[in-house]
Amino acid sequence: QKEVEQNSGPLSVPEGAIASLNCTYSDRGSQSFFWYRQYSGKSPELIMSIYSNGDKEDGRFTAQLNKASQYVSLLIRDSQPSDSATYLCAVLAGTASKLTFGTGTRLQVTL
Amino acid sequence: KAGVTQTPRYLIKTRGQQVTLSCSPISGHRSVSWYQQTPGQGLQFLFEYFSETQRNKGNFPGRFSGRQFSNSRSEMNVSTLELGDSALYLCASSFTGKNEQYFGPGTRLTVT
């Protein structure tokens, strides 16, 4: 079983819709969770971090964490073509600085 | 504030050679981590340095090594290059006590 799992996609959503990206992790000791956006040929860009159960909102982005279910998700409201990218879920366990990444979900926002 | 910088951005090497990549963290960040990204394996952790000491190491062979200088700049070295070392090498920095890591643009290494 992979440590961090994501559906590779592509996830296709129409412009203006809500995109829902999901991630599960296996290490119950994980304490910090991150979403990165990576455009083709570019490096990952941090867009959200979440540490506590529940929702965290930042602009059009909402991260949701459920530690009991070992599940973290990212919602993108009012999706725009510029949101088309690969979204990487990353998990940090304990005090180590080693990020464990999922393989990423490719999001396509269509006109 | 300037972001993480990495040099060189692109590199072509031959099997058996060695290579050194450089990373300058965001000003004030003392933790530097290195990652390898390939289409097949995704993003994998190489090692992390803090205050010139390696704090964590991933599952890579000893051909991969690194170091950090007193100004927090870091270098990683790969010796005896193999074709499979072709990848995007990413450096990320974080502020002391904070978990958020910010990535540089990466160095694209091609081994022929």
Note if the bond before A14 is cis, omega within 30 degrees: no
DSSP B67-103: EE-TTS-EEEEE-S--GGG-EEEEEEEE-TT----EE
Q: Which of A51, A97, A103 sits opposite B42 (nearest CB)?
A: A103
Higher pLDDT, residue B86 or A31: B86
Burial B71-98 (b: 16+ CB within 10 A, else e): ebbbbbebeebeeebebbbbbbbbeeee
Residue A94 confidence (pLDDT): 66
pLDDT on residue B98: 86
Question: Which letter, b or e, does each residue of A43-56 get, where b requires 16 or more Cβ atoms within 10 Å of its Cβ?
Answer: bbebbbbbeeeeee
CB contact under 8 A, A99 and B35: yes
Query: Out of A91-95, B30-34, B68-72, B78-82, which region has the weakest mean confidence (pLDDT)?
Result: A91-95
Do A66 and A52 meet the contact criterion of CB atoms below 8 Å apart? Answer: no
> Mean pLDDT throughout B100-112?
97
Closest-CA residue to A70 (of A109, A32, A26): A26
Q: Which of A102, A33, A20 is nearest to A67 (CA)?
A: A33
pLDDT for B71 beyond 90: yes
* DSSP code string of B13-26: E-TT--EEEEEEPP
Percent of chain B topping pLDDT 70? 100
Place of tokens 């990487």: A88
pLDDT value at position B96?
Answer: 87
How many angstroms away from the CA of A80 is the closest CA of chain B?
A: 24
pLDDT averaged per 10 residues in sequence order, chain A, 111 residues: 88 98 94 96 97 96 97 98 98 82 97 91
Average pLDDT over residues B83-112: 96
Give residue-wise pLDDT tens across range B2-13: 899 999 999 999
Mean pLDDT to the nearest integer, B45-55 = 95
Shortest distance between the Cα of B76 and any Cα of chain A, in A, equals: 16
How large is the average pLDDT for residues B29-44?
95
**pLDDT higher at B47 or A95:** B47
> A25 near A31, Cβ under 8 Å?
no
Question: Given this model, what pLDDT does residue A93 score?
Answer: 80
Distance separating alpha carbons of residues B49 and B59, to the nearest angstrom: 16
